[in-house]
Amino acid sequence: MIGGLQNIPKIPELKKKILFTLLMLAVYRLGCHIPTPGIDGAALSAFFSSKQGTLFGLVDMFSGGALSRMSVMALGIMPYISASIILELMTVVVPYLEKLKKEGEQGQKKITQYTRYGTVVLSCIQGFGIAVGLENMSSPGGVMVVPVGGWGFRILTVITLTAGTCFLMWLGEQITERGIGNGISLIIYAGIIARFPVAVMNSFRLMGTGEITPFFMALLVVLMVAVVGVIVFVERGQRRIPVQYAKRVVGRKMYGGQTTHLPLKVNTAGVIPPIFASSIIMFPATIANFLSVEEYPWLQSFVNALAPGHIVYTLIYVTFIFFFCYFYTAVHFNPVDVADNMKRSGGFIPGIRPGKNTAEYIDRVMTRLTFSGAIYVSAICILPNILIYNLHVPFYFGGTALLIVVGVAMDTTNQIESHMLTRHYDGFMKKGFSKTK
């Protein structure tokens, strides 16, 4: 791997792409420390430290701590991701969007334009909600987060947060076009990784005070490495369905006759299910922060049951993960379209009749794969919650964060290795790190 890293400076184009990506990520991290005007930073920090485990904590994780500081990039890239998911889901029910999706590059440009408009709308709505919520927030000591509220503060906050999200959206697109890797994913990745040094320092501090023994810390490191290894193994796992193409004669030449395969990923939905599941299940606890639930014991019990670490939370969380795994896979992968494209190309699965039977076979295989993928995602997401909230183990990464960090790292590594192999250099691993198991 060291030899592979040494080959990167020998490829000027790759070196330029990596430096540009690092520069853009540095600009992003700098923007996360520019505060929004009109907010008491100390009171806000005290408020967020008491609200971990709610939707605030989830959004703050994806924004790299920008929300807890209420910087100009407090909304992060989440409005863009939400708009992208909404547009993708709407392609199933809106014929016009479905037609655009099938038009290739020009149609994708139009969908991207609609996604940007949706990002601005969602940012304005979320920015206004945050501005109103900030006016009602106070630190545990009773200090108001917004000393001087009103419509002036609300409008300024909406403009500031929306501008920050639009700038991040542009930044991500620039990284995708001129840098290396997917820009949006790398921005989320950088936000999560930015908190890692603080976690390491806290771990050493706990070892220094005797709260954690060196042996226990070693076990924790081994567990983290094992979890990362499982994620890498499963994310690269595929179910390969053999596909045979019939021979056909065109003029004096014969085409086809080759054998290939249809790769089906174990986890087709990616990190979307845990993100959606966390957002929905944490929503009641977030709303409770603005209400006096102490006056209603039954409501207080309901909110406590939906807190991370509770058995009710765990069961509902897993149920939502399973639901969104199947739902997003059904939206993202259409067995009928795959079977039709295969039939038009003269391909067939040995032993399966082309057309409807092929679609039913692919759908059956995909259903079983999705069930296995849902179990894998649930286990990865539940294990850190058990360690953190039930066993009180200082496990830094949550399940969703782990999936994002490892997934983005693998995708970026694959792109770097592709550049290197194209220029006839060895990749990171001599046996091919990108090779799917």
Task: Decide yes or no: CATH 1.10.3720.10 for domain 1-195.
Answer: no
Supply the pTM of this predicted model. Answer: 0.76
Residue 298 to residue 291: CA distance in whole angstroms: 14
Expressed in percent and rounded to 5, the helix, strand and coil fractions of the chain are: 70, 5, 25
Which position has the higher pLDDT, 45 or 175? 175
329's tokens: 């896979």
Instruction: For residue 401, give the nearest of 194, 258, 140 by alpha carbon.
Output: 194
Instruction: For residue 273, give the nearest of 187, 158, 399, 385 by alpha carbon.
Output: 399
- Reported as a pLDDT band with limits 50, 70 and 90, residue 331 is confident
40's tokens: 């008491």
Query: Could you tell me which CATH number the domain at 237-395 has?
Result: 1.10.3370.10
- 121 pLDDT higher than 70: yes
- 125 pLDDT higher than 80: yes
In this prediction, residue 437 carries a pLDDT of 46
Mean pLDDT value across residues 266-293: 71
The answer to whether residues 283 and 256 touch, using CB atoms and an 8 Å cutoff, is no
pLDDT per position as a tens digit, 201-258: 877 777 777 777 788 778 878 888 888 888 888 888 888 888 887 766 666 666 656 7
Instruction: For residue 195, give the nearest of 22, 68, 51, 35 by alpha carbon.
Output: 68
- 60 pLDDT higher than 70: no
- Reported as a pLDDT band with limits 50, 70 and 90, residue 368 is very high
In this prediction, residue 391 carries a pLDDT of 60
Locate CATH 1.10.3370.10 in the chain. 1-195, 237-395
Mean pLDDT value across residues 306-316: 78
Q: Residue 238: in which H helix or E strand, if any?
A: strand 238-245
Helix, strand, or coil (residue 303): helix
Mean pLDDT value across residues 357-371: 92
Least confident of 12-21, 221-230, 275-284, 419-428: 419-428
- 167 pLDDT higher than 90: yes
Maximum pairwise Cα distance, the chain:
86
